[in-house]
Structure 1
Amino acid sequence: MHIDGALFKLKEMMDAIASPIYFLRGGPPWSIGYYTRKKSVIEGGIDGKAVQAGRPLPDGFGVAVDERVVEYPWLFDQLNRVDGSLGCVLDAGSSLNHDFILDRDPLRRADLTIMTLAPEKRCYWYKGYSYVFGDFRRTKFKDGAFDTIISISTLEHVGLDNTLLYTDDPEKAEANQNGFVDAIREFRRILAPGGRCLITVPYGNYENFGWFQVFDKEMVQLLIATFKPSSFELEFFRYDKAGWGRASEMEVANATAFDPHSGRGRLDDAAGCARAIACIQLIG
């Protein structure tokens, strides 16, 4: 394990030890102890199949936890609906690069390539996963290289300022609201015929936070139209003080987000970031 990976494990341990403080403070998102709470709820959501197609989420699910608490269980529900192998899989954005995600079937057996802008502090190459670094809008993969493409809460960063968290390359400090369109075209090119592309993005009233943006109806429509799928599924989820639940497109049209780095968009609902998400399955 790289020394940065060992340091990350140490931080995890310290966060777990601090969990009582987190709960005594009322469980505020992104405070010490939050990672441990978030990981626990995500694992419970995946293993307990909290997010299943056409079914409501459990009451009080994911209170004061950001959107990953829905996105990961949604993803595993989608993946487990496939009979047999996932084939060659691309994680476009490195959202799967966590041991508690990779150690679960069917990802544990997957032929998985993880792609992001720059190396991260932890990686699991020794478990057989491949890592590639670069821009999703201009990959070096051949046409139809992947049977499954997964992009969890990543497209909202493409074309914007990625120097805050993801890279120190000054050329990645962009301000292109439609940067995601080129990424979608590239996903379509490298997806095998009949393959699946699974995408989530924050959704609601359009807002640009500089390093990410909230997708609105027109942007999601553009995303789907650019991909030109043979078929697609579109689901919405929203957050309020009572937790996460399913929603109609109309119910989340004016949803907002909270930027944990600047504090912009903070309300008294303990939202971790997005207050609504769109989950999209596109078939090539």
Structure 2
Amino acid sequence: MTEWKNTFVFQGKELSYNRIKFNNPSERAVEVAIAFDFLANLDSKKRILEVGHVLSHYENTLSDYLGIKSRQIIDKFEKDVGVDNQDLISFLSPEKYDAIVSVSTVEHIGQGAEPSGHYGQSVESRDLEEPLKAIAKIYDLLATDGKALITVPFGKLTDAGWFIQCSQEYLDLLVEKYGIPQAAISISFLKLINIETTSSSPRMVWGESNAVALSSVEYNSPWPCANGIAVIQLSKVSADFHLNLNAEPTPLFYEMLYQEQQELEKSQPEIQTAGELEQSPDFIFLVSTLAAQLHTSEEELEESHAFVQLMQGKIEQLQGVQEQLSQTQEELKRIQTLMQEVQAEKDWLQSKYLAVRQMAHQLQKELEQALARQR
């Protein structure tokens, strides 16, 4: 049996659940308490910026006492007293801030309109990493040693059209791609464990968790809204930071919303039983077609096999001719060598013949001279 409490634990501190009904029940039950605790414990409260018009709906006279009511608030869409309707990405500030807080807002930046049309605007193209760029922009707006607290839905990386549910892989890009120093960022996690479904103002149970335990959590399942959140805390370690808002999105896989997955599954035709499938005309036609294609393929295979055997015989014949040709070439080389030897012998004999003939001619001449002297 669930033990319902009025408090939850975050980073070792016991905080009270938000009891104001505006946008409650949802992750606001813990986000609002965490955000006010963050603001109440700031070392400096001179220059505070809130991104997204959220906390004003939960404030009371305690805000004046804590010194956090005079903060600057920017929100692109919500119109209210004291709210500057500016887009964070294009927001220019002449000063840096001691603290920035943003509750469930950055996941909507750069995304489409909420299905009811009450929030956001229709866009032709979206930058799925603009929430990350918004976090990097918040880090850039901090003064050195300034602090920021940002909450986002967390679990399976999900493209909901009007917001992005973050995952660990997605948030890792803050350091790996957008250059926020690892030492400047810390992330804590909370998971929705149970919710009272029989009350118009239900009680909730949230518990501390981790990225691995939340990796399969889906938005709106099993309970409404975020079933897991990440609380991102930034601490500006140096003024030396280069903000890059022009980076192309990293190719990550984004899930569909749980409801969209369910609707897609319902829209698929019902699967027939094996018996029904075997008796259906479409199945019989398909089997007949496949059988005919198989028969044709077998005939083509046999023809191909016969052709391969024929080619193999031709290859063996050519190999025999090649062997004979090789033997003939060897014999031809041997005959050429022999002919060269015979020609050399002939040339030697020819030179000997000429020498003997010359010697005979000389002897005949000497004989004629000797006979002439005897007369």
- Bin for the TM-score computed over the shorter chain: 0.5 to 0.7
Aligned to 2:253: none
Q: Which has the higher contact order (CA 8 A, sep 6+)?
A: 1
1:245 equivalenced with 2:203 (yes/no): no
* 2:59 alignment partner, one of 61, 78, 101: 101
- Code of the aligned partner of 1:232: I
* 1:176 alignment partner, one of 122, 127, 148: 127
Distance 2:14 2:60 in 1: 26
1:91 equivalenced with 2:50 (yes/no): yes
For residue 97 of structure 1, give the secondary structure of its aligned residue in structure 2: helix
Cα separation, partners in 2 of 1:173 and 1:134, compared to 1, 3 Å: farther
Question: Taking structure 2 as the reference length, what is the TM-score of the superposition?
Answer: 0.51
RMSD between aligned residues: 3.1
- Code of the aligned partner of 1:67: E
Larger Cα-atom Rg: 2
Question: Taking structure 1 as the reference length, what is the TM-score of the superposition?
Answer: 0.66
* 1:154 alignment partner, one of 65, 80, 105: 105
1:185 equivalenced with 2:145 (yes/no): no
For residue 216 of structure 2, give the secondary structure of its aligned residue in structure 1: coil
- Code of the aligned partner of 1:54: G
Q: What displacement does 1:187 show? A: 1.5
- Code of the aligned partner of 1:279: V
Q: What displacement does 1:134 show? A: 1.5
Cα separation, partners in 2 of 1:209 and 1:132, compared to 1, 3 Å: same
Aligned to 1:272: 224
Q: What displacement does 1:118 show? A: 2.4
1:37-116 matches, cutoff 5 A? 50-55=8-13, 65-83=25-43, 85-98=44-57, 100-101=58-59, 103-105=61-63, 109-110=67-68, 111-116=70-75
* 2:148 alignment partner, one of 197, 210, 218: 197
Q: What displacement does 1:252 show? A: 0.8
Cα separation, partners in 2 of 1:103 and 1:210, compared to 1, 3 Å: farther
Identity of matched residues, %: 25
Distance 2:112 2:10 in 1: 34
Contact 1:57 1:245 in 2 (8 A): no
Distance 1:106 1:247 in 2: 33
Aligned to 1:28: none
Contact 1:92 1:149 in 2 (8 A): yes
Aligned residue pairs, count: 215
Aligned to 1:166: 119
Cα separation, partners in 2 of 1:173 and 1:65, compared to 1, 3 Å: farther
Q: What displacement does 1:250 show? A: 1.4
Which runs of 5 or more structure 1 residues have no equivalent in the other structure? Answer: 1-40, 259-264
For residue 149 of structure 2, give the secondary structure of its aligned residue in structure 1: strand
Q: Higher strand fraction: Structure 1 or Structure 2?
A: 1
Which runs of 5 or more structure 2 residues have no equivalent in the other structure? Answer: 196-204, 237-375
Distance 2:40 2:133 in 1: 29
